[in-house]
């Protein structure tokens, strides 16, 4: 376990290695109560976990401020920030993090396997977080001075995709805040491929192998019965979900997210909100504070 320095106004940060994954854990030293919720944070493509440090601190600071106003806090918050697969401390092959070659460029300026590589990385990171959920209680609180009662997820861009995958596949994740993420990977990448010159086909191209298409169509959030009220069919029932999108985002347009959230059924015990800000593919201070407020309102208070 290693510690890093922080200003007096920051929450504590300790880096713990679990199963070979460096986990930046924020807020441990400030814990006072017994009940703890853990929120995992996932960064975007071609970033590292350090790019999310400000967001991690914002989550804790906003929650602390709201708890002070409320005069009580039923559950406290710990933030765990990790590198996605093939990023940061886990980087192996940098080219895999690149997108398709832009129009007019040479073939070696992009990544022909972009659709496959990005899906493999984000689903892999989702699996990693499910694995971490198994072991985090033992690593953080081996003698149980605190008890983890809830697990949440949030992420930006590709990290938003991770959040949506976990909300679908991981029943222990009960709250999620995907920021400029997309629940419909195939539609998003199809549009990205068709904007190339010449356009790339998703049905007769090695860019989109049939086995990949089959996996996406069975694995992605949009492949579920997300409009159903049957708990055996709809994994989103009773979950709290805030999706944040930029109105001018050209990388992950809100048009690929809005239909899903309009039709999404979360049941009487759930909460859903699609919140849009005036901007592009960025993580604004306003978005971070909105996310933190949602965590407090729906997950901790």
* 16-74 confidence digits (pLDDT tens): 999 999 999 999 999 998 999 999 999 999 999 999 999 999 999 999 999 999 998 89
Say how many domains are in the chain.
1
* pLDDT given for residue 201 in this prediction: 79
Q: How far apart are CA 79 and CA 230, in angstroms?
A: 32
- Say whether the peptide bond before residue 126 is cis (omega within 30 degrees of 0): no
> Which position has the higher pLDDT, 204 or 188?
188
pLDDT interval class at 204 (50, 70, 90): low
* pLDDT given for residue 195 in this prediction: 83
User: Which structural domain range is residue 18 located in?
Assistant: 2-300
Please tell me the pTM assigned to this model.
0.94
Write the DSSP assignment of 48-72 as a string of letters.
Answer: -GGGGHHHHHHHHHHHHHHHHHHT-
pLDDT digits (tens, 9 = 90+) for 113-132: 999 999 999 999 999 999 99
**Would you mind telling me the total number of residues written for the chain in this entry?**
301
Burial (CB count <10 Å: 0-12, 13-18, 19+), residue 76: buried
Q: How far apart are CA 36 and CA 150, in angstroms?
A: 7
248: domain CATH number?
Answer: 3.40.50.1820
Lowest mean pLDDT among 142-146, 197-201, 242-246: 197-201
């Amino acid at each position: 376990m290693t510690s890093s320095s922080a200003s007096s106004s920051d929450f504590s940060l300790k880096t713990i290695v679990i199963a070979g994954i460096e986990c930046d854990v924020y807020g441990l030293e400030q814990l006072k109560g017994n009940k703890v919720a853990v929120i995992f944070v996932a960064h975007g493509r071609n970033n590292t976990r350090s790019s999310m440090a400000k967001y991690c601190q914002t989550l804790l600071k906003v929650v602390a401020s709201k708890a002070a106003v409320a005069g009580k806090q039923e559950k406290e918050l710990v933030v765990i920030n990790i590198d996605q697969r093939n990023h940061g401390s886990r980087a192996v092959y940098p080219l895999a993090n690149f997108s398709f070659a832009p129009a007019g460029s040479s073939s070696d300026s992009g990544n022909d396997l972009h659709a496959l590589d990005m899906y493999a990385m984000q689903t892999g990171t989702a699996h990693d977080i499910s694995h971490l959920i198994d072991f985090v209680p033992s690593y953080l609180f081996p003698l149980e001075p605190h008890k983890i009662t809830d697990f949440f997820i949030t992420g930006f861009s590709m990290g938003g995709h991770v959040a949506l995958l976990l909300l679908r596949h991981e029943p222990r994740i009960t709250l999620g805040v995907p920021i400029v993420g997309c629940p419909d990977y195939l539609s998003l990448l199809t549009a990205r491929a068709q904007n190339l010159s010449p356009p790339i086909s998703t049905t007769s191209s090695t860019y989109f192998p049939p086995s990949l298409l089959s996996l996406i169509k069975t694995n992605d959030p949009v492949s579920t019965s997300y409009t159903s009220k049957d708990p055996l069919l709809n994994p989103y029932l009773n979950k709290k979900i805030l999706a944040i999108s930029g109105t001018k985002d050209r990388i992950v347009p809100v048009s690929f997210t809005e239909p899903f959230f309009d039709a999404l059924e979360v049941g009487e015990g759930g909460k859903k909100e699609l919140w849009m800000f005036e901007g592009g593919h960025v993580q604004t201070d306003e978005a971070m504070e909105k996310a933190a407020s949602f965590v407090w309102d729906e997950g901790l208070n």
